[in-house]
Structure 1
């Protein structure tokens, strides 16, 4: 029982209060893998990168001409992927400090882009989903540039792709469909390995989003029936050369819904340890974020209230207990978990008291010490060796390295071929912005 109490005491908490807000005029935003930077996209296609330490803009990207629909960071935050309703996906190298920022590459499509994502192990592999179609772009040499992944079955013409996500390992692509199914493809071979029906869904219920825990052991789906469902990620065999497909229903371990207003969900996000789940409610009259405790059988932990401005998006910081949410007025609210100051941490013999008590002075407590003893003690301290080479303080912003691929894992070795330049150490240098830039002019014209 004592061990259980200790674990609960040391357990990371969930955000409960607004720490600060960013006037980013954005409709969606996301943290980078280190948790230090925030990429914010706006309705007119502009993207800004904010530094949470300085609360300043470090990059301005004149990315698109219509609403931003997707943002994704590479694993070490060097590259940024932006997608929009203007049918384009843009790739940016944030190490570039030139002004204005130039795209590395643009991927053009024939429909508004639903989502865009980097491969978890290699930013040269990009997954893009548009209504009905899913593509993989492979920018490595000696690889096919563009591969078509999802297809429409001749038996069910109403089954169209509505979203797509890599699993955290990068071995598989999970594709949500317009009839409440989840299709799983092998990333390397582009072959369909599994087709799942979500238990309890009938009719044309769309899967609008799929999110995984950091470990990939669980995932949650957001559907148009106003319910979030969490599943245990199945284990999949290697693609069958004879075309055999694993087919079975997915039974959710938990179901989450708005108990009062029964509204749709705009966004869903896991905490870094996967113990908490946040859902942004599409309530037109309130800014609500529901947080569920998954370690306590999915009990509702709290409902964060951000005021009357409608919530558009929410995202959990991948490195700490922090959330962000976008309001309909363009502001980004940064939520954190306030910690109570414990003065006993500054001195081992300091005792915190609930109320004052009378202090009894010892007889020799304030006696003057012999000066010869003071000099002797100082001499001994000067003779002690001082280690000036070892740094005890760990970096504040750090990304864990990727696990090494097993020798017989073909899928991960395929992804590690021709590694990207994001694997080396680099720093996002602040860029001095002009007092009156083109970006500011565009905002002034709108006002």
Structure 2
């Protein structure tokens, strides 16, 4: 059993999909982004953002909007095509793209024919040669035509926004989708050639009980999901206004959320899944993510835990983030202003952060703790952190072995909180984050 220490979980912390986090992003010179593209060294991963959904869920904090008007989608895709042309023209000749990921929103909010055209353009402009392709999908808008498009493109990895199978929880969060719908989507994706299928699940939902969570985990296992991302619902209506319709009084308290996380972890690791970090799981010995975790090759980027070792990530589309060893850049979030920036110069950088040697050193520590449960601490950084680590050491959640900080098995739920000790920006940022559990 994990020991529960409410005092150590009181302060919200980032998910650390980057360091510095997006909370530290500020205005950035577009020339810096252009220069980073022109001087890319090493492999590249591409992320393409489709900020639309057919139906907007109450809980969702993603940069997305309703895909109601065809003209709106067409205008966005036209701008996205122009950005692809501009970015690809700046990369050095021979740059190799090893990954291609589509996220949102829901990429399947656009027409399958538009998706095929988008992939064709990416293939030609970036010289794609059999990259690993992945996509996020909404089961509510899946169709036979979309399954055919996925098969044609050769997408091997897909992620479904399942969240919960409990109908009463679905109604409370605005995510109503029947089990039959999820089963049909799962079957169609398998038939289309998807070999690694992820289910996103949540705990801490309004009205959710441990039995509800256990039932969702069981149905997920029966459907043979290769990966499971088990997130705690983050209720931050002051940041995500649409969450105001959710009844916060019906949500489990912190202690119950902790118990749900423990339940999910115990269920999955005893039913063939290997833990990947604290809240992700993959079929042991079978899924590439599980093999990467076991082999010490796990990484973390804006898409979460990954086996992608490319040193450069280029984001395309509104709000998409690019990551280079020395620079983080986020595109303009607002769809209209994104189109205007692209029209003006082909690129749409709006904010970001430079990563100096200190940031890269601390980022490596944070990634090591979250991905591998350990990190080597330089003497200066250890001296600065010893006092803040002391409560975790005293309770057996972490230990020092020479200059290596190790998270104990019982300390897994506190990994993000421990990682935040090495983040000097936390004392300065006014932004609120989600609970670590």
Higher relative contact order by CA 8 Å / sep ≥ 6: 1 or 2? 2
Q: Same fold (TM over 0.5)?
A: no
**Higher relative helix content:** 2
TM-score where L is the length of structure 1:
0.29
**Higher relative strand content:** 1
TM-score where L is the length of structure 2:
0.29
